[in-house]
Amino acid sequence: MHRLNGWQRIGIVLSVAWAVFLAGVTVVDLNSTFNEELERWKGCPRLGPHHFATWEDAKTGKPITLHEDGEKRVSCFVVQQRAAALLRDAGAGLIEPRMTVMSSQLAFAVLVPVAAVWLLVYLVVELTRWVLDGFRKGRSSA
């Protein structure tokens, strides 16, 4: 059985640490409440996708956002009016806000950077070995 060297073990530890960090960010997002979310952005709230979680209406399953589809820029006043309306709707029970994990984005954010870094490191190591082998062969034939 092939044993892992120290660098490979460090890589595994860093890969696991990256996954745990992203899971922690997601848990923090899931623990925020709807009212906290709107209060956090009181000046000009922006309610939408977090890192890897998003708000949706538990009754309908539709996403809850302060921006309409296709809107590029909206005045702060309009966004504040929409935030107030969402709070009223939530208070009246018309909508049931809940946070959901965007699992595909979370998986992408965990796996793609880890795979890319592992590939890059292995390419650099092999390229370095190849270059150094060229110098060693040149020295032994001289």
- The alpha-carbon radius of gyration of the chain (Å, integer) is 24
Q: What is the pLDDT at residue 129?
A: 93
Concatenating the DSSP letter of every residue in 85-119 gives HHHHHHHTTS--EEEEE-HHHHHHHHHHHHHHHHH
The H-assigned helical ranges of the chain are 6-31, 34-40, 76-91, 103-141
**pLDDT for 113:** 93
**pLDDT given at position 50:** 61
Tokens of 63: 């996403």
Residue 109, CA distances (Å) to 4, 26, 43 in order:
25, 12, 30
Query: The tokens of 4 are what?
Result: 């892992």
pLDDT of residue 42: 58
d(CA 118, CA 121): 5
Consecutive sets of 10 residues in the chain, 142 residues long: mean pLDDT of each? 84 94 85 74 57 84 80 76 84 87 88 95 94 82 58
Neighbours of 22 (CB within 10 A): 18
pLDDT score, position 16: 95
What would the two tokens of residue 98 be?
A: 């809940």
